[in-house]
Structure 1
C-alpha cells in the first residue's frame, strides 16, 4: 500500500477509536498545550494512533500547518505514511533531502533520524517556514549517534510543537536527547521524564 496524497481536510476520514490511555493522554495534551510532550507506552499500545490524533487536532484547529514525522528506519517511514493516510492525513514518506521539497498535496513528510542528521539545516528551514508539529518516533534513537541528537536539535528547535514517543524509558548516559526532560531515578541516574506513561510501573 503506498501513501497517496489526501485532501486537506483531516476530518473527512473516520477517527480511530482511542483506548483509555490514549484518551487520557490526548486530554492531558490538549488541556496543557505544551510545546514538548513525551509519551511513553509499551510496544503495541498504540503510540502511532495517539500521535496521529494529536496531529489531526492540531491541523484542524490551525495550531500547525504541517507535520514532520521522524522515524528510525525506512520501513517505519512508510508505515507512518500508511497509518496517516487511513485517518486522512497525507504524509510524503519519499521526501528527498536532495530537493528539500514535497508536493502541496501533502500535509507533511516522514523522514529518518539519519536523514535529519545528514542535512539538519535544510530541515530547519522547512520547519521554520510554516507552523510545524514534529513527531519524534522512538525518540530514544536520538541518542544512538551524537550526530542524530545534534541534528534533531538543529532541525527542530524552532518547531511550533514537538511530540516525542517511545516504548522504552531511557537514561541520559553521555548526552541528553533534545526536547526531553530528565529527572534522577532511585539510583541517582538521570532518566527521561514522561508527560504521560502507560504500561510501566
Structure 2
C-alpha cells in the first residue's frame, strides 16, 4: 500500500548542536547501523531534534511510520504534540495517523500490534529516557521487562533512536540495542554502584558544559543546607539511665548515627522549612525581574507533598499540587506550565522529560539518592527561555551522596574552576542578587565515632529542630534511645554553591 507523500512543515529553527546531531544521524543510520544514541544533557531539547529527524526520514521515504516510547503520560503527550507540529501529521496512533506515542508500561500489551506494523512497513522507533530499559553487561540476556520488550520490538523496526541525558542505570545493567566497550574500572568507580565494567559508546554527546556555554542551558547553583551546631540528646525509653548528649558539626555526621535516617530527617518540619524558606526567598528575588519564574518542590511521597503544599500556602505562596492521586493532574500541570503561578509540588510527575522552561528554582526533598535522579531533577530547571534567565538554583539537604553528586556536576565545568563552597549564614545570605561572591571556608571533614546501640530494644525516637522549646514529633523505631536533635538558629548554614 502506497502512503501519502509527506509535505514539508515549518518548525522552530534548530540550535547548532541539534543540527549537528541531525546531520550525523541522517548520515549514519543504515541497514548496517540501524541504532543511534543521542546523549544530550537534560533540558537541551532532544525531542525537537528527534521530531525533525523523524520528519526527514519520512520525507525522503526511508520510513513509513514513527513509534515513540516514553516514561510517563505527561512526557508522551508533549512528544506527540512536538512530532505532530514538526511533521504536520497525526501522531496519536489513531486511524490515519503516521505514528503513535506510548508509555513503556504499555509496550508489552501492544507488542503484537507493533510487530505486525513492523512486518508490513518501515518503522522508526524513538525510545526516550532510554535508561528505563536494561540488560546484563556483555549480553542481550538478563533484560528487565521493558528491555525484553524492546529487544523483541527491535527485530521488527527499521531504525531506532535512543534519547537520554543520563544513559546509565543505578542497578549496573547496560541499555539494550546500544554499543558498549570493555573498560578498566577505577577504584573510585568500584565504589560507585552505578559504575559499569563496560562503557557506553554514544553516537552523539552534548554536555551540560557545552549547553551552558552555548546559552542553551542555565548555570546551575546548588545550595546544600546544613547546620554546624547539632545537639543529639539520647534518653532511655524507660528513664532508667540519665540522658546523654552528643554534638555533631554537620548533617552528614548526624546521619552516621544508626538511629537517624535521611528519609526520616526530610519529614521533620525544621529541615524541610529551612530548605523551602531559601527556595521561597530566591524565587521571590527572581520574580522581581521575571514575573513568570516558577519553583518546583520534589517530595518523597504523596503525603509529604501534601504537607509541603500546606506549608507553602501557609507562607502565602500560590501552589499547584500534582501527584498520581490528583484529579486531572495532567490538565493541572498544563495549566501551571502556561500560567505565572509560583510553585508546583510533585513526587515523580516532573522528575524527568517534563518541559516547563519557566522553572528556575527547585527544592529537592526527595528520599531518592541516585545521581541519575538528581541530574534529571536538575534538568527541570536549567532550560533557558531568553537572554535574562541565565541561572537557576537547586536547594538540597547536605547529605553525603547528594554532596558527591553536586561535586561531580562541578567537575563538568573544569575550565570554570567550579568548586563546592561553604557560605555561613552570618557572613552572607544567598538571597539577594545572583551567584556567589562571598568569602568561603573549607568543608568540614571531621570523622565521628558512634557509640554502639543495641537494635533489639524498642524505643521512642523524637527529632526536634530549632530552640530547646521546640515540639518533638514521636514515632516508634527499633533501638534503645530517644533522640532529641536541637538545631541552633544562629549557626544555621547554607552549604555550598556550585559557582558554575
Q: TM-score range by the shorter chain?
A: 0.7 to 0.9
Tell me the CA shift for residue 166 of structure 1: 0.4
Higher mean alpha-carbon deviation, 24-33 vs 58-67, is at 24-33
Q: 1:103 aligns with which of 80, 85, 95?
A: 95
Write the distance in 2 (CA, Å) between the matches of 1:45 and 1:89.
Answer: 24
Shift of 1:175: 4.5
Question: Who is 1:3 aligned against?
Answer: none
Q: SS at 1:162's partner residue?
A: strand
Please identify runs of 4+ aligned residues in structure 1 that moved more than 3 A. Answer: 7-10, 171-176
Q: Distance in 2 between matches of 1:186 and 1:197?
A: 21
Query: What do residues 56-107 of structure 1 show as CA deviations (whole Å, max 9, x unaligned)?
Result: 1100000000000011111111111111222123211xx4xxxxxx302x11
For 1:17-28, list aligned pairs within 5 A.
17-28=13-24
- Cross-structure match for 1:151: 149
Which stretches in structure 1 are left out of the alignment for 5+ residues? Answer: 1-6, 96-101
Larger radius of gyration: 2
Instruction: Verify the 8 A CA contact 1:72 1:137 in the aligned structure 2.
Output: yes
* Deviation larger for 153-162 or 67-76: 153-162
1:124 aligns with one of 95, 110, 115: 115
Instruction: Pick the aligned partner of 2:126 from 120, 128, 135.
Output: 135
Give the aligned partner of residue 37 of structure 1: 36
Aligned mate of 1:191, from 183, 187, 199: 199
The count of corresponding residues between Structure 1 and Structure 2 is 185
Any unmatched runs of 5+ in structure 2? 136-142, 186-195, 209-411, 413-500
Aligned match of 2:212: none
Q: State the TM-score, normalizing by the size of structure 1.
A: 0.83
The answer to whether the Cα contact below 8 Å between 1:127 and 1:156 also exists between their aligned partners in 2 is no
Higher helix share: 1
User: How far apart are the structure 1 equivalents of 2:89 and 2:100?
Assistant: 10
What's the Cα RMSD here? 2.3
* Higher RCO (CA-CA < 8 Å; seq separation 6+): 1
For 1:91, what is the secondary structure of its paired residue?
coil
Structure 1 CA distance for aligned equivalents of residues 64 and 41 of structure 2? 30
